[in-house]
Structure 1
Amino acid sequence: METTEILDFIETFRKTSGWNRVPREKALRRDLSGMEMFDPPLAGTAAANDPSFLLLKSREAVGPQFLLPGEWLPGAGSVVSFFLPFTSRVREANGKSGPEPAPEWLHGRIEGQEFIDRLSRALVEHLREAGGDAVSPAVDPRFASCTGRNTVFRDQNGTPLPVTFTSNWSERHVAFVCGLGTFGLSKGLITSLGVAGRFGSVITSFPLVPDNVVPEDLYGNCTLCGECAAKCPAGAISPEKGKDHVLCSEYLGLMKEKHSPRYGCGKCQTGVPCEKGIPAKRQR
């Protein structure tokens, strides 16, 4: 098994499964029926025992509740992270829709995540059929997230961990370790295909050849231009203070009330220099 085989599986699933298109019965507009949500993927592989995963347990990264690859899958050999960028139709519509998410983006955020989840489960089954073992933490029953100030995690002694807006597996941080990109001011991960898209990952017992280079600079791909801050309708991003997750969450809550069962925003990911690639460094 090689990473290229996994990437080929993801691309075949994207093109042929049918789940990468908005179902007619769910389309918010007639012309959105059958709309493709994602373009071809990007993938990176890290050894399951890469010491950078240990760093994600720090409070400055994900937090002590982060489970290591070997805790998800005993005998883990490798971690594969993948990124699926949104199509130009999804991105451009959201960049032009004003302060609220475009219907195209709402589909990409919700039906798009449903696609990622189906892909993740299919990839796990594919790896098992190939003779290995695998798990995709984000669709595993053990996955847990905290989207507010409530505490849902406990340490090995049962003591509650004071954490907010976090989870026991972070797709963005795992993608960082797998060498797919670096963070931006908006806390999105800027890959070679941009920031506008969705991440997924799988842990497998196969000892795949690592191809990751963990960046030394957490924000190496970000020019700190501040355009994501200017586009944030919640005022949740600033060059001086970074991202305020509470303000962001409150705005998403408003969008969910208005567009339920869908929600989203994505304004910090569209109409910005890092939308579909790594922005050029500004001349000083």
Structure 2
Amino acid sequence: MDKELIRQAAAELYKQLPGNILDEAMDILPEHVGTRMFDEPLVGFGGADDALFDEYKKVGVIGPWHMSPAEWLPQAKTVVSLFFPASLEVRQSNRRAKEKASDLWAYARIEGQAFIGSYMAALQGWFRELGVEACVPALDPRWLAVRAGEGIEGYPEIREDTYGSNWSERHAAYVCGLGTFGLSKGLITEKGMAGRFGSILIDAKLAPDLRPYSGIYDYCTRCGACIKRCPVAAIDLEHGKDHTVCGPFLALSRTLLAPRYGCGLCQTGVPCETRIP
């Protein structure tokens, strides 16, 4: 088992698995049939024992409800993070949007996430066929979301303005060397931030990828483009994104884009859409 073998398997799964191309069965607008939602994923590797996972448990970083790799999979040795860049068609459509997400972006958020889920399940199966135990936190029944105003029993530290989950795909990607955060709280990778993440924990020991950064915002130039793109002024230069403003707008998008939802305006039409600025 080595990293190159895993990267090759990831590329092959991307080519073989159905679900990344929009089709009639998905109940979409006819003009979007045949559109690809995501490009081939980037793959990064991190140590399951990386000290950052302990940092993530601190109040004010993520919180004590964030589960470490060992809590998901006791024998975990390596974290594998994948970034699925949004396709040109998806990005272009959302770049033109002003007040709400484009239809293509909403499809990539819902149907696209379903594809990523099936992809991660297939990757987990591939590892297990090779005798490597694997856990995909986002597909595990223990995964849960934390939303403002909702608490988790046993964690009084959760604030009224807390948004997140007990496993952060972006923070895992940061550990694995894939990128750093921007003002909009998205992660800027070498392919930009317009896209979605997945991750898997395995019990095979692999060398972590070098993190070519030391600060959580190293790739963000603070240009303010995402501030101008946000339709509800949820981002500012001093504090970044305010989830208590963004969250209700995302909730409203369930009506605006029913039966789907999403936004992503701050990820498109900005310098970090497809690259490190």
**Cα contact 2:103–2:257 (8 A) shared by 1:** no
Aligned-partner SS, 2:82: strand
Partner of 1:191: 189
Partner of 2:33: 33
| C-alpha deviation, 1:174, in angstroms | 0.7
Q: Which moved more, 1:142-151 or 1:2-11?
A: 2-11
Structure 1: 5+ residue stretches without partners: 280-284
Partner of 1:273: 271
**Cα contact 1:177–1:214 (8 A) shared by 2:** no
Structure 2: 5+ residue stretches without partners: none
Pairs within 5 Å for 1:85-100: 85-100=85-100
| C-alpha deviation, 1:220, in angstroms | 0.4
Partner of 1:8: 8
Partner of 1:84: 84
Aligned-partner SS, 1:268: helix
Query: TM-score, normalized by length of structure 1?
Result: 0.93
The code of the aligned residue for 1:180 comes to: L
1:225 aligns with 2:226: no
The code of the aligned residue for 1:247 comes to: V
Q: What is the CA–CA distance in structure 1 between the aligned matches of 2:23 and 2:154, rounded to whole Å?
A: 40
Partner of 1:127: 127
Q: What is the CA–CA distance in structure 2 between the aligned matches of 1:38 and 1:81, rounded to whole Å?
A: 16
User: Number of aligned pairs?
Assistant: 275
**Cα contact 1:145–1:152 (8 A) shared by 2:** no
1:214-242 Cα shifts (integer Å, max 9, x gaps): 73211000000000010000110011221
1:148 aligns with 2:144: no
Q: Which moved more, 1:270-279 or 1:121-130?
A: 121-130
RMSD: 1.3
Q: What is the CA–CA distance in structure 2 between the aligned matches of 1:185 and 1:162, rounded to whole Å?
A: 22
Pairs within 5 Å for 1:245-264: 245-264=243-262
| C-alpha deviation, 1:98, in angstroms | 2.2
Query: TM-score, normalized by length of structure 2?
Result: 0.95
The code of the aligned residue for 1:55 comes to: E
Partner of 1:47: 47
Q: What is the CA–CA distance in structure 1 between the aligned matches of 2:63 and 2:34, rounded to whole Å?
A: 40
Aligned-partner SS, 2:44: strand
**Cα contact 2:98–2:229 (8 A) shared by 1:** no
The code of the aligned residue for 1:44 comes to: G
Aligned-partner SS, 2:188: strand
Partner of 2:23: 23
Partner of 1:282: none
> Percent of aligned pairs with the same residue?
43
1:143-190 Cα shifts (integer Å, max 9, x gaps): 0111222112525xxxx4424202110000110111110000000000
Q: What is the CA–CA distance in structure 2 between the aligned matches of 1:230 and 1:223, rounded to whole Å?
A: 15
Partner of 2:241: 243
Pairs within 5 Å for 1:105-116: 105-116=105-116
